[in-house]
Amino acid sequence: MSSRADVCVVACAEAFRGDGEILAAGIGGPVTVLAARLARLTFEPELLTHDGTCLLTGDVPALGEAPGVVEGWLPFREHLWLVLNGRRHVMLGASQIDRYGNTNISCIGDWARPKAQLLGVRGAPGNTRCDPTSYWIPRHSPRVFVPSVDVVSGVGTDRGAFDLRRVVTNLAVLDFRTPGGTMRLVSVHPGVEVDDVVAATGFELDIPDNVPRTRGPTVEELEVLDRLDPERLRDREPA
C-alpha cells in the first residue's frame, strides 16, 4: 500500500531524472529530501545529495541521521557558487505561484507595508535564473495558485527562468512545456480528478485531452522509502 505522500515523493524524485552529477537539493522537509535521496538510490545514481547543513553525503542516510561517509564540504558560500554555476537542481517551496511559474516567498500584500511579511526572497531569484528549478507545494489551492504573485521572488518562464522543470503538489504534477511557457497539467495523483485540480487553481491551466495518473512507487522504491523514513514523516506534509 502506498500513500499520497509516497506518490508525491516519487513525483518529486522524477524531477531529478536525467540530471547526472549535480546537486539535488530539497528545501528541508521530508518530501523533497526523500525525493533527492530516492532518485540517487534508484534511477539517478550519479546525483550529489547533502545532509541539510554543509556536507555532501558519500552514502545516503535515513532522515535525521548523519552520513556514514562524507564526500564533500558545502558551506553556504559553496552553495552560492553552485547556484551561479548551474550545477544544482533545487526543489523550492512557494507561498504563491502564477501561470508562468513566477513565485513569491517574500511577503503578501503591498511590499511597502505588507499584510504578511514572509521570509524575504532568499535565494529564489538566483536559483531560478541560473539553475534548474522545481517546486513542491504541499497544499494546492487558489490561495497559492494565483493569477499574479505579489512579489516575484523566483522568476517564471516569462521573466527569464533558466529551466523550470516541474511543479509537484498534493494533487498533481504540472510543468511549463507549452509554446507560451504556461503551466500544464501533466498528471493527477491516484484518487484525484482533473476537475479537482482546476477548482484548486486560480488561473487557466493547459490541460491535454488525456491526463494520465501519476505513477505510484515501485516495490523497490517503497522499500527504499521505508528504510529512509521508517517513521513515515513524509505522510505529514501533503495537505
Partner 1 sequence: MSAEEVAGTVESGMTIGIGGWGSRRKPMALVRALLRSPATDLTIVSYGGPDVGMLCAAKKVRKVVAPFVTLDSIPLEPHFRRARQAGEIEFAEYDEGMFMFGLLAGAHRLPFLPTRAGLGSDVLRVNPGLRTVRSPYADGEELVAVPALTMDVALVHLNRADARGNAQYLGPDPYFDDLYAKAARRCYVSCERVVENLLKEGPVQSLLISRSMVAGVVEAPGGAGFTSCEPDYGRDEALQRRYVETPWEEFDEQQG
Residues contributing to the site for partner 1 (CB under 8 A): 53-55, 73, 75-77, 80, 83-84, 106-107, 111-126, 128-130, 151-155, 159-161
Which residue is it, cell 498528471? 187
> C-beta of 226: minimal distance to partner 1 in Å?
26
| Beta carbon nearer to partner 1, 57 or 128 | 128
> Smallest distance from the beta carbon of 178 to partner 1, in angstroms?
19
CB of 54 to partner 1, least distance (A): 5
Nearer to partner 1, 73 or 179 (CB): 73
Q: What would the 3-class secondary structure string for 125-151 be? A: HHHHHHCEEEEEECCCCCCCECCCCCC
Closer of 199 and 239 to partner 1 (Cβ): 239
Q: What are phi and psi of 195, to 5 degrees?
A: -60, -35
Nearer to partner 1, 41 or 90 (CB): 90
Report strand pairing: 88-92 vs 23-25. Answer: parallel
Number of residues that this document lists for the chain:
239
Cα separation, 54 vs 50, in Å, equals: 7
How many angstroms separate the CA atoms of 221 and 231, rounded? 16
Residue 112 is given by DSSP the state T
Min dist. Cβ of residue 145 to partner 1 (A):
19
Q: Rounded to the nearest whole angstrom, what is the least distance from the CB of residue 32 to partner 1 in the complex?
A: 15
Burial, 68: exposed, middle or buried (Cβ in 10 Å; 0-12, 13-18, 19+)? exposed
The residue assigned the cell 494533487 is 171
Select 52 or 216, whichever has its Cβ closest to partner 1.
Answer: 52
* CB of residue 113 to partner 1, shortest distance in Å: 4
2 burial via Cβ count (<10 Å: 0-12, 13-18, 19+): middle
Among residues 132, 79, 135, 81, the alpha carbon closest in space to that of 104 is found at: 135
> Based on CB atoms, which residue is closest to partner 1, 57 or 153?
153
